[in-house]
Amino acid sequence: MNSPRAVIPSPAGRPSLRSLDDALAELLAHAVPLAGSDTVSTFDADSRVLATDVVSALQVPPEDNSSMDGYAVRSAELLEEGAVLRVSQRIAAGSSGGALEPGTVARIFTGAPIPAGADAVVMQEDCEPVADREGFVRVQQLPKPSQWIRRAGEDVTRGATVLSKGERLTPAALGLAASIGMDVLQVARKPQVALFSTGDELVMPGEVAPEQMRPGAIYNSNRFFLRALLARMGCEVTDMGIVPDRRDATLDALRSAAAAHDLILTSGGVSVGEEDHIKPAVQQLGRLDLWQIAMKPGKPFAYGRVGSAHFMGLPGNPVSSFLTFLLLVRPFLLRLQGATDVAIKPIAARAHFTWDKADKRREFLRVRRDAQGGLELFANQSSGVLTSAVWGDGVVDNPSGQRITHGDSVQFIAFSEWLA
């Protein structure tokens, strides 16, 4: 993310808003990788972060082998198309053949080792058995040396570091680890995260029927997507539920959470209203290092410490909570696990909309790609409209003060990049 880093002044008596880039840099500076690691089955290591380099004790493939079903040949012996040669042996994957006799070919299958003396493979579609000469084949296409041969070590060489410490594992990476014989992997331990919401207006789905909701009550949607996001980030989550809007209850929840967790993550209560108790409670028990970000949605964000635990307070509005998690909490959690690459790389895309409401804060507009490859804008960009994050497949990262005209090039970040 490369938008301006300026600090935006606030009305007299309030601290200036921090730029998103500065806030993220400060957060990452606090994110010292956690001590300890886990040894897990390679089957179970998807999305975990490697704690050590993975070094190959062998080469892959271990020997030259065929990438096609066909016939292994000496290319120099085939001087014209339609040459007829005897099939001297049959080599399947998992078996080994002898040296190729001069003037013959070897029937060979994908993955089978190339016999000594052969230097090419002609795929079976370019050969045909000779009807009146059993055990002979007619080669219809002249091969080039090395054709359809996978060379020993072309994927992995012995002693190579195939996966590096700090790399977040993908399904392809698990396959690569298995290809060099790794049945277990050493990975960073999972962050222990305590999660709770604040707000007397919050009700859990299933506790009260929609038609029986009291005036002003809302279902706690944030709790559901934050738990899911934390799980995707490889965390062990302690769900502490909904904490009442009281100072004593907030203090008790923070003390309990700090005792056995690496991070306390809250939703709601970080604004400046009389019923927002998170800020003074964190300051009473520990310290608050970061408060309010120049971004829209998501301005009321907090970072601090309670005891030895990190603390992050997200806004209560669902879209604000969702985006501040992706933009700030996600990279922080990855860095806690020792991940070296925590950045998301926007791509240039064409705006198929007009945005005249330039804001002094950096904006993240919910959009989706249309059939023409451009981006269309969700009509309601309110921070309370979670529908926008389901309808959309990403956001436009729009610098402060920037209007957008239909056809402009904009910076697009796909949700799939964040949620992988």
> By residue range, what is the domain housing residue 178?
39-60+160-188
User: Could you tell me if 385 and 405 lie in one domain?
Assistant: yes
Mean pLDDT over all residues of the chain? 93
d(CA 89, CA 244): 79
Q: What is the pLDDT of residue 272?
A: 59
Chain segment 177-208, per-residue pLDDT in tens: 999 999 999 999 999 999 999 888 999 999 99
pLDDT at 278: 87
pLDDT higher than 80, residue 2: no
Whether residue 361 sits in one domain with residue 299: no
Per-residue confidence at 253, pLDDT binned at 50, 70, 90? very high
177 and 80 both lie in a single domain: no
Would you say residue 273 has pLDDT above 60?
A: no
Q: What is the pLDDT of residue 343?
A: 92
- C-alpha distances out from residue 283 to 17, 246, 251, 272, 389, Å: 19, 15, 10, 14, 33
Domain shared by 51 and 165, yes or no: yes
* Stretch 50-68: mean pLDDT: 97
Q: With respect to residue 2, please indicate whether it lies within any of the assigned structural domains.
A: no
Tens digits of per-residue pLDDT, 9-19? Answer: 555 455 679 99
Query: Of 227-231, 271-275, 324-328, 401-405, which range is least confident?
Result: 271-275
5 pLDDT tier (thresholds 50, 70, 90): very low
The answer as to whether 48 is a domain residue is yes
**309-330 pLDDT, tens per residue?**
999 999 999 999 999 999 999 9
Looking up residue 411, the CATH number of its domain turns out to be: 2.40.340.10
pLDDT of 4: 42
Last residue of a domain, which of 336, 358, 377? 336
Residues 262 and 232 in one domain: yes
Mean pLDDT of 384-407: 97
Q: Render 345-405 in DSSP notation, one character per residue.
A: --EEEEB-S-B----SSEEEEEEEE-TTS-EEE-S---TT-THHHHH-SEEEEE-TT--B-
Q: What percent of the chain has pLDDT over 70?
A: 95
The count of structural domains within the chain is 4
Pair 269, 278: CB distance under 8 Å: yes
Q: Are residues 211 and 292 in the same domain?
A: yes
Q: Which residues pair with 408 in a beta bridge?
A: none
Residue 309: both structure tokens together: 């635990």
CATH (domain of 240): 3.40.980.10
| Pairing mode of beta strands 184-188, 161-163 | unpaired
Cα-Cα-Cα-Cα torsion 275, 279, 281, 284, nearest 10 degrees, comes to -140
Are 48 and 186 in contact by the 8 Å Cβ rule? The answer is no
Strand partners, 50: 187
Cα separation of 1 and 51, whole Å? Answer: 27
